[in-house]
């Protein structure tokens, strides 16, 4: 059995099992490892012939089964367990072998691990994998970063198992060190923003248009056939028609789901790192905050009793559907623009040398934020690889001009009627601030100089100035 298998995978939970079966389906032999005998047995049973897929609970048996240089992927929870698995591998692997972390590890942890293993002549990759369990089985978007020369050993496998967009694999070498994990982190931050925006539109249709679940299902389905075509819009339409099998009235399941959204931290990491870099991502920031507000269910319920809710003015359904489609399209563009701006700045700061067009390309299929819009984004960055912000692309000016008025209308209506739409509001505020040549921050600089002698610059002459205000 020694040295027979092309690919190894540690962690045979749903994601790991699906990914390794995907590898085997695409012509590569694969060997799995897990401490849980039941998971090992389940993989063997589902994988069929042992020459194609095999597994063990013994780490030495696992390592010896792999061809050199060994290509070992970890699909285990981020954190200390990744370090633990790496340490368990080190006595058995050889110089030149490749370890790939496919989890959502924080990018600085990846840099630390990469440096640690580099000293031992082991190649380490952080490879973000997006698409959920179904994507892992049928084709995810994969975002690898690490040694460019070592990537050639894993490239054939990753290109075979990844999702395809018009025949192009949704995977590409992104850059050195933690670039892959960083790109996946920002992908997830954008995901937070898009999910928040989609939920706000759902809420607005329901409260300001009296849309039934069936009508909203039809509306989202129609949108998914147009410029809003995306995975999140598609699954929203499906969620809205799902019947509740447990409830007594057998109504729609979505109405019985508790309005407390959980999170695993990648959105928060995106927001925190954007602040470290000085890059504004307010659509992502507020999406994280709204999940935190949603957790305050008991307090929210008590507060509503104290303050009540305004009576909502109902809008014409056809007109509201038109406005929400345009506003959602507008805010999707803004959210992508913020995330890609962060990637471009991080690339310079951390010396990743990211190609934004390539990133947009590999997001076009397989991943959670896949959308028709990404084809246009790819074109924008192919036309100008140094584009600082998507809003400065000539390709997007008319798209924004044609939809921003609807965003203004809905933000105003929501504010007047007490419907929280922080994602759309923050997207609009970001747009208005980014497109303003003059902001009132001159007053803030004057205040800072007044109370702290922090100095200021002038419009009419060069230099740094301070005034004795009193």
348 marked as part of a ligand binding site: no
395 marked as part of a ligand binding site: no
413 marked as part of a ligand binding site: no
364 marked as part of a ligand binding site: no
Element (H, E) at 45: helix 37-47
Rounded to 5°, angle at Cα 432 from 363 and 426: 60
Helix (H) and strand (E) counts for the chain?
20, 9
Structure tokens at 338: 């913020």
**Rounded-to-integer distance, Cα 379 and Cα 303, Å:** 48
132 marked as part of a ligand binding site: yes
| Residue of 184, 268, 325, 361 marked catalytic | 184
**Rounded-to-integer distance, Cα 204 and Cα 121, Å:** 56
Q: Answer yes or no: 155 catalytic.
A: no
408 marked as part of a ligand binding site: no
291 marked as part of a ligand binding site: yes
95 marked as part of a ligand binding site: no
Residue pair 279/344 in contact (Cβ under 8 Å)? The answer is no
Report the largest interatomic distance among the alpha carbons of the chain, rounded to a whole angstrom: 85
Residue 369's contacts (CB-CB under 8 Å, 6 or more residues apart) are 130, 187, 190, 191, 194, 230, 231, 232, 363
Q: What is the CA radius of gyration of the chain?
A: 25
Q: Answer yes or no: 184 catalytic.
A: yes
* 58-82: b (≥16 Cβ within 10 Å) or e: ebebbbbbbbebbbbbbbbebeeeb
| Residue of 191, 234, 325, 326 marked catalytic | 191
Residue with token string 């063990």 = 56
112 marked as part of a ligand binding site: no
Least Cα distance to 384 among 402, 372, 396 occurs for 396
Residue 403's contacts (CB-CB under 8 Å, 6 or more residues apart) are 326, 327, 329, 330
Residue pair 221/241 in contact (Cβ under 8 Å)? The answer is no
Residue 152's contacts (CB-CB under 8 Å, 6 or more residues apart) are none
**Rounded-to-integer distance, Cα 274 and Cα 345, Å:** 9
DSSP sequence for 148-215: HHHHHHHHHHHHHHS-EETTEESB---BSTTHHHHHHHHHHHHHHHHHHHHHHHHHHHHHHH---HHH
Element (H, E) at 129: strand 123-130
Cβ neighbours around 342 below 10 Å, total: 24
187 marked as part of a ligand binding site: yes
454 marked as part of a ligand binding site: yes
Annotated binding site: 104, 130-132, 187-188, 192, 264, 291, 448, 454
Q: Which residues are known catalytic residues?
A: 184, 191
Q: Which residues are annotated as a binding site for substrate?
A: 104, 130-132, 187-188, 192, 264, 291, 448, 454
């Amino acid at each position: 059995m020694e040295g027979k298998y092309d690919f190894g995978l540690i962690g045979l939970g749903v994601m790991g099992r699906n990914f390794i079966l995907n590898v085997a389906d695409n012509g590569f032999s694969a060997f799995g490892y897990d401490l849980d005998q039941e998971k090992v047995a389940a993989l063997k049973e589902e994988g069929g012939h042992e020459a194609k897929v095999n597994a063990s609970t013994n780490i030495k048996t696992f390592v010896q089964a792999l061809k050199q240089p060994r290509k070992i992927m970890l699909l285990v929870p981020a954190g200390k367990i990744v370090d633990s698995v790496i340490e368990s591998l080190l006595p058995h692997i050889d110089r030149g072998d490749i370890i790939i972390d496919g989890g959502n590890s924080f990018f600085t942890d990846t840099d630390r691990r990469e440096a640690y293993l580099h000293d031992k002549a082991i190649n380490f990759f952080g490879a973000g994998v997006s698409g959920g369990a179904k994507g892992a089985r049928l084709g995810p978007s994969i975002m690898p970063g690490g040694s460019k020369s070592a990537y050639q050993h894993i490239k054939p496998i990753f290109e075979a198992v990844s999702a395809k967009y018009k025949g192009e694999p949704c995977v590409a070498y992104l850059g050195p060190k933690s670039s892959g994990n960083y790109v996946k982190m920002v992908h997830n931050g954008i995901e937070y923003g898009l999910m928040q925006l989609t939920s706000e539109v759902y809420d607005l249709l329901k409260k300001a248009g009296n849309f039934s679940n069936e009508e909203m299902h039809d509306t989202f389905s129609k949108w998914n056939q147009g410029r809003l075509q995306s995975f999140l819009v598609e699954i929203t339409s499906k969620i809205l028609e799902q019947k509740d099998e447990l409830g007594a009235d057998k109504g729609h399941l979505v109405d019985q789901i508790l309005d407390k959204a959980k999170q695993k931290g990648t959105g928060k990491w995106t927001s925190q790192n954007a602040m470290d870099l000085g890059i504004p991502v307010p659509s992502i920031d507020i999406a994280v905050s709204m999940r935190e507000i949603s957790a305050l269910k008991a307090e929210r319920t008590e507060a509503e009793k104290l303050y009540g809710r305004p009576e909502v003015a109902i809008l014409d359904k056809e007109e509201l559907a038109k406005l929400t489609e345009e506003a959602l399209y507008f805010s999707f563009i803004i959210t992508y623009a913020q995330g890609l701006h962060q990637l471009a700045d991080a690339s310079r700061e951390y010396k990743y040398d990211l190609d934004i067009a390539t990133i947009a390309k590999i997001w076009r299929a397989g991943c959670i934020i896949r959308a028709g819009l990404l084809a246009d984004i790819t074109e924008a960055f192919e036309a100008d690889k140094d584009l600082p912000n998507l809003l400065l692309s000539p390709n997007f000016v008319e798209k924004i001009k044609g939809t921003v008025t609807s965003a203004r209308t809905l933000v105003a209506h929501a504010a007047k009627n007490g419907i929280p739409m922080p994602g759309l509001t923050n997207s609009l505020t970001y747009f208005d601030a980014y497109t303003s040549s003059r902001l009132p921050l001159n007053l803030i600089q004057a205040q800072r100089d007044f109370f702290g002698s922090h100095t200021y610059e002038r419009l009419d002459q060069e230099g740094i100035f301070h005034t004795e205000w009193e």
